[in-house]
Amino acid sequence: MATKLSVNINKWATLRNARGGNNPDLLKSAQSLEAYGAQGITVHPRPDQRHIKYQDARDLKGLITTEFNIEGNPVQSFIDLVFEVRPTQVTLVPDAEDAITSDAGWDCKTHLPFLKEVIARFKQQGIRTSIFLDADPEMVAYATETGTDRIELYTEPYAQGYAKDREAAIQPFIATANKAREFNLGLNAGHDLSLKNIAFFAAHIPDLLEVSIGHALICESIELGLQHVVEQYLKLLNQPA
C-alpha cells in the first residue's frame, strides 16, 4: 500500500496572519495542494489560534476532497471543533498551549484513562483516531489499550540523527513500527520529515500509511521556486511599456 502525503498548512496561515488580509489564500492553497497530488490536508489549530484559526477548519471541511486531518491537544474547545467539523481523522497531540511546535508523544500509560475516554467519544462519531507517539515499542501496548485506530510516530529525533548516522536514527522507529504491526495499529508519521530524509524513512518503516509534512515542504517550495519568481519579477520590470 502506497504511503499517503498529507500536507500540513499551518505555515500558510502563519504567513497570512502576519499581514492580515487573505494572502496567501488558505482555502485556495489547500485546493491547489490537492490538485498537485496531495492525498490529505492537515491543520493543527492551537488554543491561541496563532496560525490556523478554528474558522479555517470549518471552512476547509466543505472544500477538501481528499482526507482531512485535524490535530491538536484535546482540550474541550478542540473536542467541540472536531465534533462540529467531523474530519476524516483526528490526531491527538500532547502539546502545551504555549508550545512553538509539538515536541513529544503521549505517555499513554500515565494518560490511559483520559485517552480512552476521549478516543471513545470520537469513534462514536465515526472519526478515525490517531495519537502522537514517541518511537518507543513499550508504549505501543498502552496505545492499543486507548482504543486508537492509529499512532503517529514523532519523527524529529530521526530527522536530527539522520545526517550523523541514519542507520542508528531509524532503528527505534523500525522497532516501534514492528510492534504496531503486532497490535494491528495503523501507522502514520510526522515532524521534520523532508526531501532529504523521507525516502530512507519510508523505505524502512513497514506499513507506513501516511506522513504529515508542512514546515519542510513550504521551506523547500520557497527554495526550489525562488529562481523562477525572481526571474518573473525581472522580466516584468524590464518589458516594454
- Give me the active site residues, please: 44, 71, 191
Give the 3-state secondary structure of residue 185: coil
Contacts of residue 40, defined as CB under 8 A and 6 or more positions apart, other chains included, come to 4, 5, 6, 7, 66, 67, 68, 69, 88, 210, 212
* Nearest by Cα to 40 from 75, 92, 74, 2: 2
* Nearest by Cα to 201 from 210, 136, 220: 210
Ramachandran category for residue 196: left, alpha or beta (phi over 0 → left; psi -120 to 50 → alpha) = alpha
Q: Are 195 and 216 in contact (CB under 8 A)?
A: yes
Please provide the DSSP assignment of 112-138 as one string.
HHHHHHHHHHHHHTT-EEEEEE-S-HH
| Cα–Cα separations (whole angstroms), residue 229 to 13, 18, 35, 234 | 21, 21, 21, 9
Widest Cα–Cα separation across the chain: 70
For cell 474558522, the residue is 55
